[in-house]
Amino acid sequence: LEEQYSPSRWSPRLGKDTVIQAHLAATAAGTQRARAGAQTSLHVPYGDGDGEKLDIYFPTDPSGTFPVLVYIHGGYWQCLSKDESGFAALPLVSQGVAVVAVGYDTAPKGHMDTMVLQVRRSLAFLVEQYSGIRGVYLCGHSAGAHLAAMVLSTDWTKYRVAPDIKGAVLVSGVYDLEPILHTYVNDALNMSWEVAQRNSPMRCIAPAAPAAVACEVLVAVAQHDSPEFRRQSQEYSQALRAAGWSVSLLDLAGVDHFDIIEKLSEDTYVLTQVGEELPSSL
């Protein structure tokens, strides 16, 4: 399990330390380009916590209303931040899509329950504050895909809002936290079995309500993800489909756990094109 849940060990491109450094450099550079080339509102607070802030990249030509892509970063719930999570913005804002990078309190400061709650509250804040939003799309990578999947299981009556979630792109995610309990990843998270159970998207799938049927879920996994990551993606997509959700599994060749998401800064990348199709799909 230690090896299976160490994504950096599975990249054929670079060594396990080098691939992480390259990922940090690529996402940070892409975010800097986006901040320089797009209209932004940075560090927008959606709550009182230190990590409860959003970076918003507005469409180049906001025509009153616009779809929004909410990006939730990975980092095994204990590193990375919204500050290097705007790398997908430039190709999308030019197509009329707003991009929001969500910050949350990572471990050990942030507890798993807290992180899930924060991401849900960030969406409630967005739809309350920005009346121009017409359709929300979630995109999460790795731990961020887990958090995005937990958003799909939200009972929004508790938040007194109903975000119009049109789609979700879940990239190389973890959807059952139980195996994580037995690895080094849990050293910082300090999850109990009960915490892992209630925060596992696999165990929170509700039968698809009419709104969920209209929500297109794309579960993407890399050729060079570990067999465990690939199994989790396959089983979660099957469970969603069995519950009546509209879901597709995309197995991307020639990429690993890191460049599968880094390439979102490229116009020609398949996942970027999925994002660019959002306005027309509305």
Q: Is the pTM of this model over 0.85?
A: yes
Find tokens 């990239």 and name the residue: 171
**Cβ–Cβ < 8 Å for 43, 152:** no
Q: In the structure, what pLDDT confidence band is assigned to residue 282 with cuts at 50, 70 and 90?
A: very low
Contacts by residues 201-205 (CB-CB < 8 Å, ≥ 24 positions apart) = 201/146, 201/149, 201/150, 201/152, 201/153, 201/175, 201/176, 201/236, 202/175, 202/176, 202/235, 202/236, 202/239, 203/176, 204/150, 204/153, 205/153, 205/239, 205/240, 205/243, 205/245
Q: How far apart are CA 232 and CA 260, in angstroms?
A: 16
Convert the pLDDT of each residue in 78-136 to its tens digit: 999 999 999 889 888 888 889 999 999 999 999 999 999 999 999 999 999 988 888 89
Q: Kindly state the average pLDDT of the residues 36-47.
A: 94
| 218 contact partners, CB below 8 Å, separation of at least 6 | 167, 168, 169, 170, 247, 248, 250, 274
Strands 133-141 and 98-102: what pairing? unpaired
- Of 184, 217, 241, 221, the residue nearest 10 (C-alpha): 221
Q: How far apart are CA 4 and CA 257, in angstroms?
A: 12
Convert the pLDDT of each residue in 177-213 to its tens digit: 999 999 999 999 999 999 999 999 999 987 767 655 6
- Of 282, 280, 255, 248, the residue nearest 269 (C-alpha): 255
Catalytic residue among 73, 226, 257, 259: 257
Whether 73 sits among the annotated catalytic residues: the reply is no
Question: For the chain, what is the mean pLDDT?
Answer: 89
Kindly report the backbone phi and psi dihedral angles of residue 276, in degrees, each rounded to the nearest multiple of 5, phi listed first: -70, -20
Structure tokens belonging to residue 135: 């359709």
At residue 13, does pLDDT exceed 90? no
Find tokens 């979700």 and name the residue: 168
Q: How far apart are CA 30 and CA 86, in angstroms?
A: 7
Catalytic residue among 122, 142, 200, 233: 142
**Cβ–Cβ < 8 Å for 143, 189:** no
Classify domain 2-265 by CATH number.
3.40.50.1820
Instruction: Give the residue extent of every domain in the chain.
Output: 2-265
**Cβ–Cβ < 8 Å for 143, 174:** yes
Catalytic residue among 55, 83, 176, 225: 225
Q: In this predicted structure, what is the pLDDT of residue 132?
A: 83
Structure tokens belonging to residue 272: 């970027």
At residue 281, does pLDDT exceed 50? no
Q: In the structure, what pLDDT confidence band is assigned to residue 149 with cuts at 50, 70 and 90?
A: very high
Whether 142 sits among the annotated catalytic residues: the reply is yes
